[in-house]
């Protein structure tokens, strides 16, 4: 399940697929993750908007269900028209101004995300695995600072994994329903698609690439396309570390992003 929908959530998807398909490892019932993410882009304006994002998550497996709660600390330097995990969305004050306002820097707590994912029993003969998930975003981020919309969002998605020899290919199809915000009143519902693969090179190392597409998240923005290569390392059976970069290809995507995700299972 993609927990945060930008480059970072796609890394979580790849980590999740690797853990789910590891036949030799006993199932882990708990998973704690912490990450660091930085992105920058102009989003169609004269100067760049920069985002520092530090997510923390806890996941608990109960039978075939994976339950997760996550939140983050963030810092944004920009014009206030870019939302974390969404991208450029516009802001209704801009429509009333003849000049773009001065950039500012603010920091605080991000939104809280609750998710539940059901893992269908795997088909060993075909090597196909399917997860179905639902997600709720609680508006704990400060809307006035531009850290979030201040509204409840929810959505659902299907993740499909396929084993092709030692390679895992995976894809996601999802849809997000967004609440109507006072400051970000152009927000709209949107679908998203992710495709990627994971290739082990040794017992502890693997690499892969993920492509992410999302429909426009507001009436004043466009769709986003991002490409994310990553490298994963498992220093021990219960630990994993992934380092990644991302390149955006549309006006409402970040120009570039880098990040890492550290996880421990038990």
Give yes or no for a contact between 94 and 146, defined as CB atoms under 8 angstroms apart: no
189/206 Cα distance (integer angstroms): 35
Query: What pLDDT score was predicted for residue 208?
Result: 95
Give yes or no for a contact between 120 and 131, defined as CB atoms under 8 angstroms apart: yes
82/221 Cα distance (integer angstroms): 10
List domains and CATH numbers for the chain.
7-265 (2.40.160.40)
Query: What pLDDT score was predicted for residue 24?
Result: 47
Query: What pLDDT score was predicted for residue 5?
Result: 42
Query: What pLDDT score was predicted for residue 184?
Result: 83
Counted residue by residue, the chain has a size of 266
10/157 Cα distance (integer angstroms): 13
Residue with token string 């992934």: 242
Rounded CA Rg of the chain: 18
10/3 Cα distance (integer angstroms): 8
Residue 245: CB atoms within 10 Å: 14
Question: Average pLDDT of each block of 10 consecutive residues along the chain (266 residues)?
Answer: 42 49 61 96 90 96 94 94 84 60 90 95 78 96 91 96 92 95 88 95 95 93 94 94 96 94 94
Give yes or no for a contact between 114 and 140, defined as CB atoms under 8 angstroms apart: no
Query: What pLDDT score was predicted for residue 59?
Result: 95
**Cβ neighbourhood burial of 18 (10 Å; 0-12, 13-18, 19+):** buried
237/242 Cα distance (integer angstroms): 14
Question: SS3 for 3?
Answer: coil
Query: What pLDDT score was predicted for residue 79?
Result: 87
* E-assigned strand segments in the chain: 30-41, 49-62, 65-78, 82-83, 87-88, 104-109, 112-119, 128-138, 153-164, 167-177, 190-200, 205-214, 224-236, 239-248, 256-265
Residue with token string 């269908």: 120
Mean pLDDT rounded to a whole number for the chain = 87
| Residues pairing with 236 in the sheet | 239
């Amino acid at each position: 399940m993609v927990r945060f929908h930008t480059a970072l959530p796609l890394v979580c998807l790849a980590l999740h697929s690797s853990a789910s398909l590891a036949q030799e490892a006993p199932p882990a019932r708990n998973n704690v993750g912490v990450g660091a993410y930085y992105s920058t882009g102009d989003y169609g304006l004269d100067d760049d908007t920069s985002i520092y994002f530090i997510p923390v998550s806890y996941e608990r497996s109960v039978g075939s269900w994976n339950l997760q709660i996550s939140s983050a600390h963030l810092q944004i330097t920009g014009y206030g028209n870019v939302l974390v995990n969404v991208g450029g969305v516009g802001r209704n004050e801009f429509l009333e101004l003849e000049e773009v306002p001065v950039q500012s820097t603010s920091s605080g707590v991000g939104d809280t995300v609750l998710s539940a994912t059901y893992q269908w029993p795997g088909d060993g003969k075909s090597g196909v695995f399917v997860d179905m998930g639902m997600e709720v975003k609680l508006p704990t981020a400060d809307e006035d600072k531009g850290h979030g919309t201040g509204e409840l969002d929810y959505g659902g998605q299907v993740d499909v994994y396929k084993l092709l020899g030692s390679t895992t290919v995976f894809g996601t199809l999802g849809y997000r329903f967004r609440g109507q915000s006072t400051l970000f009143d152009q927000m709209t519902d949107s679908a998203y698609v992710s495709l990627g693969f994971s290739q082990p090179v040794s017992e502890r190392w693997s690499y892969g690439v993920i492509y992410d597409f999302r429909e426009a998240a507001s009436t004043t923005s466009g769709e986003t396309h991002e490409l994310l290569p990553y490298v994963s390392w498992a220093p021990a059976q219960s630990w994993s570390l992934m380092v990644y970069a991302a390149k955006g290809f549309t006006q409402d995507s970040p120009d570039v992003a880098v990040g890492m995700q550290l996880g421990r299972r038990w």
